[in-house]
Structure 1
Amino acid sequence: MERLVADFGRALMLLSRIPWPARLEFQSGLIARSVWCWPLVGILLAGMAVLPAQAVLGLTGNTGLAAVFALMALVGLTGALHEDGLADCADGFGGGVTRERKLAIMRDSRIGSYGVVALVIAFAARFFVLQQAIESGVFMMLLLVVALFSRLSMPVIMLFLSPAREDGLGRGAGRPAVVPFLVAALLCILLTLLLAGPVMMLASVLAMVLACFVVGLLARWQIGGHSGDVLGCCQIVTEIFVAIALLSVLHGGLA
């Protein structure tokens, strides 16, 4: 039990700004071992983001404002970790010519025009899907399911791609073993079945696979593997893809 609690604390500290009371080690392999509970961290963060959004919705009745507060909460809870990865990937992939130059740009803390454009598009997409979810009465379900599968997407990338650098988060995290990954996948499937049903679950799985394929293929082509930035980028892309898939199912009356 102590090991499981430590895994969760490690995952929480890695994927959010929420502090953990005990001191934890982050040696190679321990991060990869904790991937089984990454979806649980995702659903915890999403559940916390629902609260201010619902409060604003109750006070104002404005769905757009509620969507903004949900996004603000998510960004605050994660410290814009995933958004930073998306912006760095956009700058590196778009601005570099050689693999080495792309990796150097991704490590630069400054943001360029590609990164700004990527963030604007991503926030716009997330805002509109959340607003539609609120108007359709599926806001909480969508936010929780999206949080589950977007956190599962990162271990998928870690499992199937090698690190692009000899140092950094991608190398230090290690490659997940099959059992922790399968536990994470099973948690996503079971919780989505409870929250949304089998059709939504299948749509979410397919959307996540597509997002991982697109980001993974692009990362392998551009830098020869994954990095911490690629993982963050994949989380954002998966979040958007899964949300679109869920809304498409609802729009088509298939749920």
Structure 2
Amino acid sequence: MSLPRARFDQFRLAMMLLTRLPVGRISGAVPAMDKARWAFPLVGLVIGGIGWGVFAAAVTFGLSSVIAAILALLATALATGGMHFDGLADFADGWGGGSDRARTLEIMRDSRIGSYGVLALILFSALLAAGISEVASATAFLLAGVGSRLAMLLALVFMPPARADGLGRMAAGKGEASLIAGTLVCAVLVILAGTTGAFALIGAGLAMIVIGHSATRRIGGQTGDVLGAIQLASETAIWIFLATSAH
């Protein structure tokens, strides 16, 4: 298989893993998850583009920026199947109800959402909608989409898996080269966004570090739920930093 074809199949696998968008079937051997993870940040370009398209259309039809932001958030959640929201909820429940590693992992695996998870979903959704309504632009949506998934990829590269199964195990492993594509795209977006974009990425990094450090101490590494929490917390941090820098 040629390198361009292999890269395209890896990108399609990344789309299948992180979204519910149709990308066709992969003919032949399916790439390994750890080979496709380089494309995770690029998936953010697609999701960010969807968010911006819905927001711009809503504003064009005369809706307020707040309503447009909520609709954009809904569109991106539907496009991803809400998987990062689910990860955040499970992470919050595990941290709120788990007293040790085993109990925390048990709660996080439970598909039911508890009070901590509900509270986290409400708070983060409100922060996202507020931030989007303040500073929405095509560049901001793309930066939030790519930057938050680059934070998730960083966790995959530098954090050990806490379970013997799941996405966190199958896509984990050393390999800094997988960060190149996402880093380059973020660099371009920061140039377009200016200083505020750089501060926003710092905010995403801080969110990743806080959650990653907490997960390493509590359960020994990352899981799919931890990755989902990192993505959504990083995205929220980006919007908050962009909104703060705009004032």
Q: TM-score, normalised by structure 2?
A: 0.93
Q: Which residue is 2:180 aligned to?
A: 182
Q: Which residue is 1:3 aligned to?
A: 6
Classify the secondary structure of the residue corresponding to 1:131.
helix
Q: Is the 8 A contact 1:17 1:77 kept in 2?
A: yes
Q: Which amino acid aligns with 2:127?
A: A
Q: Which residue is 2:26 aligned to?
A: 23
Q: Which amino acid aligns with 2:16?
A: M
Q: Is the 8 A contact 2:93 2:107 kept in 1?
A: yes
Classify the secondary structure of the residue corresponding to 2:246.
helix
Q: Which amino acid aligns with 1:170?
A: G
* C-alpha RMSD of matched pairs (Å): 1.6
- Measure the CA separation in 2 of the matches of 1:247 and 1:65: 17
Q: Which amino acid aligns with 2:216?
A: R
Q: Is the 8 A contact 2:190 2:198 kept in 1?
A: no
Q: Which amino acid aligns with 1:172?
A: M
Q: Is the 8 A contact 1:35 1:176 kept in 2?
A: no
Please show how residues 1-255 of structure 1 align to structure 2 within 5 Å.
1-23=4-26, 30-133=32-135, 138-193=136-191, 195-197=192-194, 199-251=195-247
Consecutive unaligned residues in structure 1, runs of 5 or more: none
- Measure the CA separation in 2 of the matches of 1:104 and 1:121: 24
User: Does 46-55 or 119-128 show the bigger shift?
Assistant: 46-55
The alpha-carbon deviation at position 249 of structure 1 amounts to: 2.2
- Measure the CA separation in 2 of the matches of 1:176 and 1:58: 45
- Measure the CA separation in 2 of the matches of 1:208 and 1:132: 18
- Measure the CA separation in 1 of the matches of 2:236 and 2:134: 13
Q: Is the 8 A contact 2:162 2:223 kept in 1?
A: yes
Distance 1:244 1:99, change over 3 A: same
Q: Which amino acid aligns with 2:105?
A: L
Q: Is the 8 A contact 2:93 2:114 kept in 1?
A: yes
Q: Is the 8 A contact 1:32 1:176 kept in 2?
A: no
Q: Is the 8 A contact 1:86 1:115 kept in 2?
A: yes
Q: How many pairs were matched up?
A: 243
Classify the secondary structure of the residue corresponding to 2:163.
coil
Distance 1:81 1:191, change over 3 A: same
- Measure the CA separation in 2 of the matches of 1:55 and 1:143: 14
Classify the secondary structure of the residue corresponding to 1:221.
helix
Q: Which amino acid aligns with 2:23?
A: W
Q: Is the 8 A contact 1:35 1:184 kept in 2?
A: no
Classify the secondary structure of the residue corresponding to 2:61.
helix
- Measure the CA separation in 1 of the matches of 2:231 and 2:26: 27
The alpha-carbon deviation at position 176 of structure 1 amounts to: 4.7
Consecutive unaligned residues in structure 2, runs of 5 or more: none
- Measure the CA separation in 2 of the matches of 1:191 and 1:110: 38
Q: Is the 8 A contact 1:36 1:184 kept in 2?
A: yes
